[in-house]
Structure 1
Amino acid sequence: MNIPDHVAIDASSASLSIRWPDGSAAQLPFAALRAACMCAQCRKRKYDGEAPLSRPDVKLLDARPSGYGLQLVFDDGHERGIFPWVYLERLAKGERNDVV
């Protein structure tokens, strides 16, 4: 498992900054992260053909390490999804894959 050595919320660019041990880095926009949430509630919405609950101006308030990934806390009250490191890495590479 590739675990980042640096994670920071960058409010000025509205993105989560991640740097991995190999030196690669990514900026993941808050709105894209919110739309990519894989918690049970968000998965159900996607499977039911409903749009993700996200706004273009959503803010990320906290990124809490949670063993195998990050629990992201958004200003819309959503904080149920844990984003595994491998999923964040795939999102950073543009490889959105709903199976982690």
Structure 2
Amino acid sequence: MSPPRAPQPTSITVHQASRVLEVGFDDGARFRIPFELMRVYSPSAEVQGHGPGQETLQTGKREVLVEALEPVGHYGVRPSFSDGHDSGIYTWEYLYRLGADEAALWQRYEDNLAAAGVDRDAPMPPKPGRACGSHHS
């Protein structure tokens, strides 16, 4: 038996004014995924880190826009966000999960913000210099 096939998108629309990515899937599901949610949960290493607990909490992304959406093979898209972030590849499965679990993901984001004591609209701190573990004093 082959593994169950992930739902495939039948339509993708970028709504700049309402800042949502509307995705319709072939199982009948239709999601309007906020750009902010997509950006906060970017699957890129820059956001997710390289292992559990290494995630970088994203803030100040409420106004972020998706300026371009580039197809990646037959399995996903790579959005270019207005804050310059463009290294996340969103598979159809990942977009489906963002849409299906939106309420839980927002709650987790709010909890993470509260735990870190930062505001959702706080500007991101500047990226630290690329330290390679060798500190010369």
Q: What band does the TM-score fall into relative to the shorter chain?
A: 0.7 to 0.9
Matches of 2:84 and 2:39, distance apart in 1: 11
Moved more, 72-81 or 42-51: 42-51
Classify the secondary structure of the residue corresponding to 1:81.
Answer: coil
For 1:36-75, list aligned pairs within 5 A: 36-44=41-49, 47-48=53-54, 50-52=56-58, 54-67=60-73, 68-75=75-82
Going from structure 1 to structure 2, the CA distance change for 1:24 and 1:48 (only over 3 Å counts) comes to closer
Structure 1-normalised TM-score?
0.84
Cα distance, 1:90 vs structure 2: 0.8
Q: Per-residue CA shift, 1:75-99, capped at 9, x if unaligned?
A: 0111101011101101110165xxx
Q: CA RMSD in A?
A: 2.0
Aligned residue number for residue 13 of structure 1: 18
Deviation track 1:31-86 (CA, whole Å, cap 9, x = no partner) reads 00000101111112973364125511011111211121110110011110101110
Amino acid at match of 2:24: R
Kept in 2: contact 1:63–1:70 (CA 8 A): yes
Tell me, which stretches of 5 or more residues in structure 1 are unaligned? none
Larger-gyration structure (1/2):
2
Please give the TM-score of this superposition, normalised by the length of structure 2: 0.63
2:29 to 24, 35, 39: 24
- Counting aligned pairs with the same residue, the percent is 26
Q: Distance in 2 between matches of 1:80 and 1:34?
A: 11
Name segments (4+ residues, structure 1) moved above 6 Å: none
Q: Is the partner of 1:65 in helix, strand or coil?
A: strand
